[in-house]
A and B are shown apart, each in its own frame.
Chain A
Amino acid sequence: MKDTVIEIKNLSKSFGDMHVLKNVNLDLYRGENLVVLGKSGSGKSVLIKIMVGLLTQDSGSAIVLGQEVSQLKSKSLNELRLKIGFSFQASALYDSMTVRENLEFPLVRNVKNLSKGDKDKLVEEVLEGVGLIQAINQMPSELSGGQRKRIGIARTLILKPAIMLYDEPTAGLDPITCMDINNLINQVNEEYKTTSIIITHDLTCAKVTGDRMAVLLDGHFGNTGKFEEVFEHAVDGRVKSFYDYNFIEQ
């Protein structure tokens, strides 16, 4: 029996007249990497933001680690958030802080009685993991897009989350850096034993990192399954064009 980590049931979300998610259902099982694909504006990011309580659904439920997110009080929600790592599309590094301070930020606020030595050790360990120990004293503005992504991921890893949510991890990066990030996602999954949702419209990223694909079309999950099942034998014209466009483009 598979252990369900995230359970989305009949979830709907609208912004004004725009119905982004319509009765969406989705399960995420422990240890898997689920890739959610879809066009820009299809509601992929909205879905994962609901999972961490940054947005609230109009109806339905989002159950994460056995808890309905929208029902949680501030304290319980924060406790749940500590078990989830969220890598933002634009990295969301704090501009006014160095890389070290960025990494220390969640640490000093959430881990009690941590000595300076322990703090430094944890920061250095995570930075070494993403291969950017040399950037420890740099400001985010001095880093490249790929480096910022790595530091963003490192910042989420410092609290050793059980679930990782990646929002467009390869958006705006060159193909080589994209590959590095894809490998990093796999490395994180192996080392930290995380369960992940990867939001993307990059099929190479999906193929390399995902165990299972879910395609979001017009507010519903159209196709779910392994990459080959979803794309290579796609019947739905929208999924087929998505596949063709990605690989013809490359």
Chain B
Amino acid sequence: MAENLKGNEKVFSTRIDKFFVGLERAFNFLKKFFVEVWVPPYEFKEVIRQCYRIGYNSLPLISLTGFIVGIVFTNQSRPSLSEFGATSWLPALISIAVVRAMGPLVTALIAAGKVGSSIGAEIGSMKVTEQIDAMEVSATNPFKFLVVTRVLASTFMIPILVLYTDFLALMGAFLNVNVNEKVSISTFFVQVFDSISFLDISSSMVKSLVFGFTIGIVGCYKGYNSTKGTEGVGKAANSAVVMAMFLIFIEELLSLQITNFFRQL
């Protein structure tokens, strides 16, 4: 079809072709994951190794960010609440914001930057240096060893990191509230747990699982399909982050609609 067109039409047509080819490739990659994840042999040892890398190695950055988010958000919310003389609502406001949206979102965005880029770059460099081919010729399924393990690890670890971020953000918020409003830790956490429901926590966890899966699968897909040597590795890492972040926001929006639907039941 593209051969019979000229100039801009041809460029446009080629782009559309490329888009659909890319979409098909991504779909097949996703399909392959769901097939391979059930087929033995299972690479348990590698899954554990990846869980450690994704989870433990992200802790310092997540800890700092979570804590600062708690302090900053509390500080920024205080003036608005104090206008209505409602600063006592700060713990409730913060807990809802942190558990429902900020904890999962901040963790996922940081992990997309740190974990997604590292997966994209690592698999990309393995691809261009023929390490993936080397696995294949030694009768090992590289998709199972590299992709399935990393996607599973990020799917399991992101919800755990989200819980940890939530806790640290609340601790940051408590520090701020304690200094300014002289609220004790027990009063603070009673208000926190009074204002959040089971639906808040469960939707946050389900959402985090989806975010973790997205970060893993996008990083692996971009790395696995990288070309053009070292330049391609850089592009794979970069596009893994951009695409994962974009999808995380879309998923956040969708999860908001779904959770609101359940809230109204």
Residues in A lying within 8 Å of B, measured CB to CB: 49, 52, 54, 78-79, 81-82, 84, 86, 88-90, 92-96, 105-106, 109-110, 155-156, 159
Are the CB atoms of A86 and B137 closer together than 8 Å? yes
The 10 closest A-B pairs by CB, nearest first: A106-B138, A92-B134, A78-B139, A92-B130, A86-B137, A81-B139, A88-B130, A109-B140, A92-B131, A52-B137
Are the CB atoms of A54 and B136 closer together than 8 Å? yes
Residues of chain A with a CB closer than 8 A to B202's CB: none
Residues of chain B with a CB closer than 8 A to A95's CB: 125-126, 129, 131
- Secondary structure call for the B interface: helix
Residues of chain B with a CB closer than 8 A to A92's CB: 129-131, 133-134
* Option from B41, B122, B131, B138 in Cβ contact (under 8 Å) with A159: B138
17 A–B pairs (Cβ distance < 8 Å), ordered by A: A49-B133, A79-B139, A81-B139, A82-B139, A86-B133, A92-B129, A92-B131, A93-B134, A94-B131, A94-B134, A95-B126, A95-B129, A95-B131, A105-B135, A105-B140, A106-B139, A109-B41
A204 CB to nearest chain B CB (Å): 24
Are the CB atoms of A88 and B134 closer together than 8 Å? yes
B109 CB to nearest chain A CB (Å): 26
A102 CB to nearest chain B CB (Å): 9
* Option from B126, B131, B140 in Cβ contact (under 8 Å) with A106: B140
Are the CB atoms of A109 and B130 closer together than 8 Å? no
- Which residue on chain B has the smallest CB distance to residue A96? B122
- Which residue on chain B has the smallest CB distance to residue A158? B138
Residues of chain B with a CB closer than 8 A to A155's CB: 134, 138
- Which residue on chain B has the smallest CB distance to residue A156? B138
When chains A and B are docked, how far (Å) is the Cα of A238 from the Cα of B133? 32
A100 CB to nearest chain B CB (Å): 15
When chains A and B are docked, how far (Å) is the Cα of A105 from the Cα of B41? 14
When chains A and B are docked, how far (Å) is the Cα of A78 from the Cα of B144? 14
When chains A and B are docked, how far (Å) is the Cα of A88 from the Cα of B137? 10
Residues of chain A with a CB closer than 8 A to B125's CB: 95
Given known contacts A81-B136, A92-B129, A96-B122, what 18 new A-B pairs fall within 8 Å (CB)? A49-B133, A54-B136, A81-B138, A84-B137, A86-B137, A88-B130, A90-B129, A92-B131, A94-B134, A105-B138, A106-B139, A109-B139, A109-B140, A110-B138, A110-B139, A110-B140, A155-B134, A156-B138
- List residues of B (90-141) whose CB comes within 8 Å of A's CBs: 122, 125-126, 129-131, 133-140
* Option from B41, B126, B134 in Cβ contact (under 8 Å) with A86: B134
Residues of chain B with a CB closer than 8 A to A89's CB: 130
- Which residue on chain A has the smallest CB distance to residue B134? A92
* In the complex, number of A-B residue pairs with CB atoms less than 8 Å apart: 55
Residues of chain B with a CB closer than 8 A to A79's CB: 139
When chains A and B are docked, how far (Å) is the Cα of A158 from the Cα of B125? 25
Are the CB atoms of B131 and A109 closer together than 8 Å? no
A134 CB to nearest chain B CB (Å): 23
- Which residue on chain A has the smallest CB distance to residue B138? A106
Residues of chain A with a CB closer than 8 A to B135's CB: 94, 105
When chains A and B are docked, how far (Å) is the Cα of A82 from the Cα of B139? 6
Residues of chain B with a CB closer than 8 A to A110's CB: 138-140
Residues of chain B with a CB closer than 8 A to A52's CB: 137
A189 CB to nearest chain B CB (Å): 19
- Which residue on chain B has the smallest CB distance to residue A79? B139
Are the CB atoms of B137 and A54 closer together than 8 Å? yes
When chains A and B are docked, how far (Å) is the Cα of A242 from the Cα of B58? 54
When chains A and B are docked, how far (Å) is the Cα of A79 from the Cα of B138? 10
* Option from A54, A93, A105, A106 in Cβ contact (under 8 Å) with B133: A54
Residues of chain A with a CB closer than 8 A to B41's CB: 109
When chains A and B are docked, how far (Å) is the Cα of A159 from the Cα of B140? 13
B234 CB to nearest chain A CB (Å): 16
Residues of chain B with a CB closer than 8 A to A88's CB: 130, 133-134
- Which residue on chain B has the smallest CB distance to residue A84? B137
When chains A and B are docked, how far (Å) is the Cα of A81 from the Cα of B134? 11
- Which residue on chain A has the smallest CB distance to residue B145? A109
- Which residue on chain B has the smallest CB distance to residue A167? B130
Residues of chain B with a CB closer than 8 A to A156's CB: 138
Per-position contact with A for B124-168: 1 when CB-CB < 8 Å, else 0?
011001110111111110000000000000000000000000000
When chains A and B are docked, how far (Å) is the Cα of A70 from the Cα of B249? 43
- Which residue on chain A has the smallest CB distance to residue B122? A96
- Which residue on chain B has the smallest CB distance to residue A109? B140
When chains A and B are docked, how far (Å) is the Cα of A94 from the Cα of B139? 15
When chains A and B are docked, how far (Å) is the Cα of A78 from the Cα of B126? 20
